[in-house]
Amino acid sequence: MKTKFFLLLCLTALLFVALGTQRDYWSTAPYQTEAAYSNISRVATDAQGSLYTIANSKRSLIKVNPEGELVYSVSSNADALPGTIQLFDGIATDEQGYAYVLLAILDSYGLKVSGERILKVSPDGETQQVLYEADYAASENLLRVGKIQGLSVKEGAVHFFRKEVDTVVLFRLAAGGGAPDELRTFALPANRYVSELTGSDPNGFYFTSKRGRLYAVDATESPTMLYPGEGTVQLNFPVQVFTNDGRHVYFIDYHEAAVQRLDAGQPHYPIQSLLRYTQLTEQFGDVEWSDFTNLYVGHGKITVATTDQIIEVDPTGRIAHWTSTYRYPTATIWLRYAYWALILAAAASFFATIRHLYVRLMKRRISLLVKQLGVIVPIILAAMVGLSYSVYDSFTNEMKEEMRGQLMLLAGNGKHLVDGERLERLNSPLDFMSEHYQAIKLRMNDLLSQAGENRDGLYSTVYRYIDGNLYIIMDDDDSVTMFRPFLTSEENLLVLKEGRIVSGEWEDATGEWMYALGPLYNASGDIIGIYETGKDMNGVRQSHLKILSDVLGMIALIGGVILIVITVMTVYLISSIRRLRRSVNLIASGEWDTEVDIRTRDEVAELGERFNMMAGSIRRYIREVTGLSESYFRFVPQQFLNVLGKGNMTQVRLGDQVHRTMTVLVCNMRDFSEFSSTLTPEDNFRFINSFLKVFGPVVRQHGGFTSRYLGPGMLALFPNDPGDALKAAVKMRETLATYNGFRDNSGYRAIEIGISIHIGDVMIGIIGEEQRMEGSVVSDQVRLAGELEKASGKLGAPILLTEEALAACKRTVRLEYRKLGAVQLYGEARTIELYDVYEGDPEPVRKLKRETQRQFEDAVMLYQGGRFYDAREAFVGVVKKNRDDLAAKLYFFACDHYYQHGVTQDWNGALKIE
């Protein structure tokens, strides 16, 4: 049982470990064969035709092969440090299929950039190598974007720009890593305010300024403006600029809703629209299109990304292909099925383990502490999880509502923060960093605490409303350009038309946001724009996870304290129960005087008192039962029950019997009839009881038991060693001498006893009827032993043994004895070889028998050989030496008779005793 539970536990643990290591397969159902692109911010291709996208609001790097199958998806936060958010912000590829991706490290609010890394991702996505790393001071106040831009790969090396306050540095970095080489440092002319950079040639790259101008940089220090033209004032703003040949510059124009190409090698820098938004809506009218977000040129095609689609355009502007989804590899789908099968297996194994634990093991004898913890721990864990979720959900919802209220309050105060008169004077990107722009920016920073520091993730955006269109004027995100068109939604119209303050949540290619919108007014009270403030939901989510972690930690601490208290209380309770158990064990082992002392003053203490009462009752009962058993054993000896295989009298049934070989000893007082005739009945009983009281214990002391009393005598059985019977017989003879001494001192005459010992098969059992039973021995061997006891007196042998008994006794007992020869009892057809054990005789008798033993046994041999004359003479010699030798006398008379009259035909050489 324990082995099965251990195996189930190990299997469950292994399955859950496997689920944890392969948890990436959890997010998607196995039957889902494709996935949709979402919130794409960057796109690139390689020489093999694979497509790379930074999607899911900059949190995922996705590679798809030319067949449209997913190769890998890498998370930006895979190795993020606590308290930080990591987002992908740029991508380039090489000819071998390696991806070089720019990773921005932001604070927990997703606002301030504290560092950037350039990672090299292997073609299969399995390995990532940090090629370059930059850390930034908090005082640099980099919001949403860092200093590195224009990531590209040329001639096997990575090129990138690092943008400082007054300079731009172009670096070349070996694909294997190491320190980058500085190719060129370009000092920015006054009021250029670099926005984006592209190119890898130190004497031929491009940049855009925050004022919506596109410049080319050659070997000189004076950049050439390519777009929109000197003296031209317009709202168009080139973004996502890209060049791959140093001559053609590609960019997105949000005002034209088009992808544009500028030829820097021709006079007047002609501009060509390669792809327009209207072209998409006309050609694919059933598709919902979103804004262009990024473009990439290379390998003979132009790849354009919208928020949720990828469009491939040939150099002439013809749409070659578009997609909004990618497929999962067949192997991945099967692995997902395997993972969900693993989930089912883990669930089945878990429930089997729980069932085994609570249904099987809990029924077994295990510690109360284990049982109690086994029940309480899951309940506490479930309660902790439920309470944690409840607290977390309630608290985070309350926090979100509180944050929403704070954002709406800040948005409502935007009309006091942003000077409408100054806002109306900002009419084109050329007004970037103008007097009015800086005044508004300064007030916004002051409101958001100390020039942009410690703003707790708050961002702000100012929109200008012109001729029914909404434009971004300023934003904390350095990548957002001035006068970028913004969608006029229903929420925006509520602010612009009704002056209401609204809030909501939004997700796009740059992230997820909670925001609030408030109207901005001019001096005439007209609504001229919108003030937006909000927070990155990534930061809010991390803050919520931190809260959840704190809640879990606190509840885990409380749960741990509760478990410790429960454990201590249970151990304290169990200690009392264990004392009770020890006392019960002592009682069970026979220590009836055991009592328990419990001072807990509770139900256990009361149980201890009841235990002591029970122990007292048991002691009284044991005394009564013991007395009763001892009384039973007076009638039926314990050894008798043992032979029957019974433990006590309650187990005895009528007809119980055992057939086995046992040693039979018969002891009786000689001439009792004559002796008892001189006594009264009362004196007879007193004598018999005194006789048995003296000689009965001798039997028990030597491993025998009395089966039947024969007046002043007994029939005893020895179930073990036959030598025990002979030792008991010798002890009886010694006891008789002592007993006669007491009788002589009291004025009574001495008595004599005869003992016979025989060994053979006996049937011992219970006879009688249901209401009256007794133990009895049924055997011809017992009858023979009784007859031999009677013959012992005639043979003058106080202890008479049969040949079978002597053979068995000789193995363990060494005593003096002599051979009496073959004897034939009266009424018996068989002859019995008998032996006279004179070890227990008085010393004078023993001395005479010892001296005549050889002559006696020779005479017996002569008798058995029919040489009666010689035998008679030999027995005469024995009698002359030992006048009390009755056996010799019997033999003498038999020899004389046979010598004078001869033997009959049935004579068998035995001495006949009548």
Contact 76, 59 (CB under 8 A): yes
* Chain centre to alpha carbon of residue 219: 70
C-beta neighbour count of 532 within 10 angstroms: 24
Q: How far apart are CA 847 and CA 882, in angstroms?
A: 10
**What was the pLDDT predicted at 546?**
73
Beta strands in 24-110 (DSSP E): 34-36, 42-45, 51-55, 60-64, 70-75, 84-93, 99-107
Rounded Cα distance between 701 and 715, Å, is 15
Distance, in Å, from the CA atom of 636 to the CA atom of 642, rounded to the nearest integer, reads 11
Residues of the chain falling short of pLDDT 50: 450-453, 633
Q: In 3D, which of 402, 395, 403, 405 has the Cα closest to residue 547?
A: 395
CA 87 from chain centre, in angstroms, equals 38
Q: What is the Cα–Cα distance from 497 to 504, expressed in whole angstroms?
A: 18
Would you call 598 helix, strand, or coil by DSSP? Answer: coil
Per residue in 584-612, pLDDT (tens digit) is 777 777 777 777 777 766 676 777 777 77
**What pLDDT sits at residue 665?**
92
| Lookup: tokens for 123 | 């073609």
Rounded distance, CA 446 to CA 437, Å? 14
- Mention every residue, 6+ apart, whose C-beta is less than 8 A from residue 319: 275, 279, 280, 283, 311, 312, 313
Nearest residue to 125 via CA among 84, 72, 167, 81: 72
Q: What is the 3-state secondary structure (H, E, C) of 830-883?
A: CCEEEEEECCCCCHHHHHHHHHHHHHHHHHHHHHHCCCHHHHHHHHHHHHHHCC
Q: So what's the pLDDT on residue 421?
A: 87
Q: For 775-808, what is the HEC assignment?
A: EEEECHHHHHHHHHHHHHHHHCCCEEEEHHHHHH
**What number of residues does the chain have?**
914
CB of 852 within 8 A of CB of 870?
no
| Sign of the torsion formed by the C-alpha atoms of 169, 175, 181 and 183 | negative
Number of neighbours of residue 683 by Cβ within 10 angstroms: 11
Contact assessment for residue 362 and residue 56, using Cβ atoms and an 8 Å cutoff: no
Q: Kindly report the CA angle at 542 between 541 and 547, in degrees rounded to 5?
A: 95
CA angle 394, 397, 403 (to 5 degrees): 135
- Both tokens of residue 657? 């019997």
Q: What SS3 state is found at 280?
A: helix
Query: 10 Å Cβ neighbour count for 230?
Result: 6
CA angle 106, 111, 117 (to 5 degrees): 25
- Terminal CA-CA length for the chain: 75
Three-class DSSP category at 897: helix
Q: Which residues of 295-307 are buried (b: 16+ CB within 10 A; e: fewer)?
A: bbbbeebbbbbbb
SS3 content of the chain, % helix, strand, coil (to 5): 40, 30, 30
How far apart CA 183 and CA 202 sit, in angstroms, is: 6
547 burial (CB, 10 Å; 0-12 / 13-18 / 19+) is middle
Q: Are strands 799-802 and 753-769 parallel, antiparallel or unpaired?
A: parallel
In Å, the largest CA–CA distance within the chain is: 180
In the numeric block, the tokens 């010798």 are attached to 730
Place of tokens 């303050």: 501
Q: Cα dist. 590→48, 409, 541, 608 in Å? A: 90, 85, 70, 19
